[in-house]
Amino acid sequence: MKARKAKEYIFNDLLSMETYCKGHYSDYYPKSDFSCNVTQLSKGELVTSSICAPINDAHLEIFKSNQTILYEEEANQNSVAFCWISNQGEHPQSNTIISGHKMVDLSIAGFNRLNKTGGNIWDIVGANTMLCCMSLKWEKMKEKIHKMNAYNAFAKLEECIGIDSNSSASIQLKNLFERHFTKGLVKSDAFYDLAIATLEEPCDQEVNLTERSDKTDLIEDLVKLLYEDSEGMPPLTIGEITKYLNTEKESLSIACRTNFNMPILDLIKSIRLEQVKKSYLNPHVPKGLKHFTKQQNALYYGFKNWTKFEKSYFATFQESPDETIEKSSRDSVLITDLLRRQR
């Protein structure tokens, strides 16, 4: 039996996590561009971890954070993602939503990435939730779907956001994933076959199926708009947001509270605070210059009152702007090799 290594990455800030995600995506799809934005939504000191164990044609990862985070990336046509949670019972109040599908123990979601070219993908990962992620190459999966005549699976990829399933195929898929992280597998074909079989199950065997709707599209467009909001300009007002999204204030308020557990203005504030923090962590700016321009950076992202900003910043991150700047010169990623027994 030959030992094989997986890697665990531990991050103390989300800028490092974004850099890691971009690097791994470029390794997986060298000819594709990739960008993502990650924002801390809950308050407290942050520690996130990712255990990564890719094999040929399949990127496999277990993610966990001690804080609730919002993850956003551009939709791509190269891969199909399947995500589920493995410890919901330990954290029943955890609010994890993958691409608009509210996650429970039976959920698998994230695979609807094909019908909105130019859109974005958004996920909320609840604090202390263990999120299992599997990214499969679309061209290979599409070829297998056609060979298997799995037309139900193809339809779900086009129309659905997520499913709650206790089918034999979904259980086998999750067990195979777990076995890979404990022993190490060398081939990815079984992941493709079981993912297709899970989607191919008739709808009457599924507890819940979420399709795209105006409500899910509204949040998708809102998240994209807030991240595209022009830096250096005052944050968008609710009136401007409703105008851009062609929606009513009440509908936007309900959607935001339902998905993010916070008012829209608090969501905007969280994103802006995270943007300031990332400016303080920028590795390309000298530490002395960061200290000198720290108030200008806050103003740049719409925080006009420095005293109020400092209080909000500390309440969110449990550190001051100066402490963040001092941390920026130290390594913020811990990488550990994990030994497994290769099967």
pLDDT single digits (tens) 160-213: 889 998 899 999 999 999 999 888 887 899 999 999 999 998 765 544 777 777
Q: pLDDT tens for residues 99-148?
A: 889 998 899 998 875 554 456 789 999 999 999 999 999 999 999 999 99
Establish if 77 belongs to a structural domain. yes
Starting at the earlier edge strand, list the strands of the sheet with 206-211: 206-211, 160-165, 107-109, 79-85, 131-137, 58-65, 48-52, 3-11, 333-341
Are the C-beta atoms of 165 and 205 separated by less than 8 Å? yes
The single residue listed with the structure tokens 């200290």 is: 291
Return the ∠ at Cα 35 (arms to 15 and 316), rounded to 5°.
Answer: 35
Distances (CA, A) of 144 to 28, 133, 153, 191, 210: 20, 20, 11, 12, 24
Tokens of 124: 């909320």
Helices (H) and strands (E) in the chain, counts: 13, 14
For residues 274, 276, 278, 282, the Cα torsion angle rounded to the nearest 10 degrees is 180
User: Torsions phi, psi of 73, nearest 5?
Assistant: -145, 160
Establish if 9 belongs to a structural domain. yes
Are the C-beta atoms of 194 and 172 separated by less than 8 Å? yes
Establish if 117 belongs to a structural domain. yes
Distances (CA, A) of 236 to 267, 271, 274, 275, 301: 12, 12, 16, 15, 11
Q: pLDDT tens for residues 212-256?
A: 777 888 888 899 888 876 656 677 888 999 999 999 999 999 999
The partner residues of 8 in beta bridges, in order of sequence, read 51, 336
The single residue listed with the structure tokens 């105008």 is: 243
Establish if 25 belongs to a structural domain. yes
Establish if 131 belongs to a structural domain. yes
Establish if 165 belongs to a structural domain. yes
Q: Does the structure show a pLDDT above 60 at 280?
A: yes
Q: Does the structure show a pLDDT above 80 at 22?
A: yes
3-class DSSP state for residue 216?
A: helix
Q: What is the pTM of this model?
A: 0.89
Establish if 321 belongs to a structural domain. no
Establish if 209 belongs to a structural domain. yes
Question: Domain containing 94: what range?
Answer: 3-213+334-341
Indicate the number of domains in the chain.
1
